[in-house]
Amino acid sequence: MKNTSKLALLALLAFTTFSCSSDSDKSGEEVIGGDTGKTKYIITATTGAQGIADYLLTTDDISTGSITTTGNGIEQDGSYRYYITAQNNFFSLLYGQGNPGAVTTYNLNTEGKLVKKSNFQAETVHVFAAINKDILTIKVPRSGAASIASMYKIDAEKSLIIGEAQQDTKKLAGNGERAFFTWATQVGDKVFMPYMSIKGDGLDNFGTVNPDSTWVAVYNYPELKLEKVIKDNRTSYLGAYYTNGLYQDENGDAYGFSSAAATSNAVVTSTKPSAVVKIKKGTTEFDKTYFFNVQEKSGGYKIASSSYISKGKVLLEMYGTPGTNKGAVKLAVVDVYTQSFTWVTNAPAVISFSTVNRYNIVSQDGNSAVVGINTPEGNWIYTINGSTGVATKGIKVEGGEITAIAKLKY
- pLDDT average, residue stretch 358-382: 94
- pLDDT average, residue stretch 131-138: 96
Which domain, by its residues, includes 297?
A: 4-409
| pLDDT value, residue 97 | 61
- pLDDT average, residue stretch 106-120: 92
In angstroms, the CA 348 to CA 277 distance is 30
- pLDDT average, residue stretch 188-192: 98
For residues 382 and 335, the answer to whether their CB atoms sit within 8 Å is no
In angstroms, the CA 66 to CA 207 distance is 43
- pLDDT average, residue stretch 197-205: 92
User: Which CATH number covers residue 361?
Assistant: 2.130.10.10
**Ordered strands of the 148-155 beta sheet:** 127-131, 134-139, 148-155, 160-168
pLDDT in tens, 276-324: 999 999 999 999 999 999 999 999 999 999 999 999 999 999 999 999 9
Give the residue from 331, 182, 184, 339 showing the smallest Cα distance to 248. Answer: 184
| pLDDT value, residue 101 | 61
Backbone angles phi, psi at 238, to 5 degrees: -90, 140
Instruction: Give the least confident one: 10-19, 35-44, 166-175, 377-386.
Output: 10-19
Dihedral angle over CA of 406, 384, 307, 143, nearest 10 = -80
Taking the alpha carbons of 320, 326, 332, 334 in that order, is the dihedral positive or negative? Answer: positive
The residues facing 275 across adjacent strands are 258
Count other Cβ atoms within 10 Å, centred on residue 38.
14
Percent residues over pLDDT 90 in the chain: 78
Split at pLDDT 50, 70, 90, the class of 51 is low
Greater confidence, 205 or 16? 205
Angle at 391 between CA 41 and CA 39, to 5 degrees: 15
**Close Cβ partners of 151 (under 8 Å, ≥ 6 residues apart):** 136, 137, 138, 139, 164, 165, 166, 167, 224
Number of domains in the chain: 1
| pLDDT value, residue 126 | 87
| pLDDT value, residue 104 | 86
For residues 118 and 30, the answer to whether their CB atoms sit within 8 Å is yes
